[in-house]
Amino acid sequence: MNFFAIIGRVVLALLAEIGHLAVFTWASISHIFRPPFFWRLLGQQMMRIGYFSLPVVALTAFFTGGALALQIYYGGSTINSESIVATIVALGITRELGPVMAGLMVAGRVSAAIAAELGTMKVTEQIDALTTLSTNPYKYLVTPRIVAAVITLPLLVFIADILGVMGGFIISTASLSFNPGVYVQNTVNFLKADDVTSGLIKAGVFGFVIALMGCFQGFNSKGGAQGVGRATTNAVVTASILILASNYVMTSLLFAK
């Protein structure tokens, strides 16, 4: 085939997909604000998305904080490292690494699970069956997942912030033999509320992206087990890329001077 024809085809397919996603996003958002609401399902999803992601997010944050402290120490040991390690760990974790690492871990866990579950429901006609039982699939399946993710991700990231900073603290005091009191002092002095809230705002957006991509890919999967597998992979890949891209955009907006 002609080279330009291939490019044209790919671009058209991409545009179609973006249009498709936009329609899906709009439908999902508009259903969040219209009754009926499925509170029971919301609670269930908050458990699944938030609570059960705790261990993985906590461990990731803890080790990231520790590794970050080591790197700053090695890189900056010539100058007065003791004062900068605490500050950079605190800022790095709350502003960037906490939300991004938690977002990516939850994307791997939750987007995949949502896409697999909804994808299976799609190919076995369970989603069609919902419609015939006077239940809107967006309200019943998509809304609880999106709302649960948007609520729980900031909570997860808040915990990740604490554990990440703690990871840095423990490594610094235990293996780099920093003074604990000075470390805490440096952290508290330099960390502002804005640093934490900016991270939590990011987390809310990531939660939306994670649940949305899982639902979108699940709803659009076709063709049996293989199709569900493809939907799962696509959900994780697209959610991760969107998290990284939107993180960049938000950083440039939130911290623009």
**CA–CA gap between residue 77 and residue 82 (Å, rounded):** 8
Nearer to another protein, 37 or 190 (CB): 37
Nearer to another protein, 83 or 135 (CB): 135
Minimum CB separation from another protein for residue 190, in Å?
48
Among 24, 37, 38, 190, binds another protein (CB under 8 A): 38
Minimum CB separation from another protein for residue 25, in Å?
17
Nearest to 198, CA basis, from 206, 210, 208: 206
Minimum CB separation from another protein for residue 78, in Å?
58
Nearest to 236, CA basis, from 218, 256, 254: 218
Tell me whether the omega of the peptide bond preceding residue 36 falls within 30 degrees of 0, making it cis. yes
Nearer to another protein, 95 or 139 (CB): 139
Q: How many residues of this chain interact with another protein, rule: CB under 8 A?
A: 17
Q: How far is CA 192 from CA 62, 113, 176, 188, 243, in A?
A: 21, 36, 25, 8, 24
Residue type, 151: I
Minimum CB separation from another protein for residue 38, in Å?
8
Tokens of 188: 């508290």
Stretch 108-147 residues interacting with another protein (CB under 8 A): 117, 120-121, 124-126, 128-129, 131-136, 140
Nearer to another protein, 38 or 158 (CB): 38
Q: Which residues, 6+ apart, have CB-to-CB distance to 182 below 8 Å? A: 82, 83, 86
Minimum CB separation from another protein for residue 44, in Å?
10
- Taking residues 8 to 37 in sequence order and writing x for each that binds another protein by CB under 8 A, - otherwise, the string is ----------------------------x-
CB distance 171 to 70 below 8 Å: yes
Sheet strands (E) in 121-251: none
Q: Which residues, 6+ apart, have CB-to-CB distance to 254 below 8 Å? A: 198, 201, 202
Nearer to another protein, 132 or 177 (CB): 132
Minimum CB separation from another protein for residue 14, in Å?
18
Cβ atoms within 10 A of the Cβ of 153, count?
A: 31
Nearer to another protein, 17 or 125 (CB): 125
Binding site for another protein (CB under 8 A): 36, 38, 117, 120-121, 124-126, 128-129, 131-136, 140
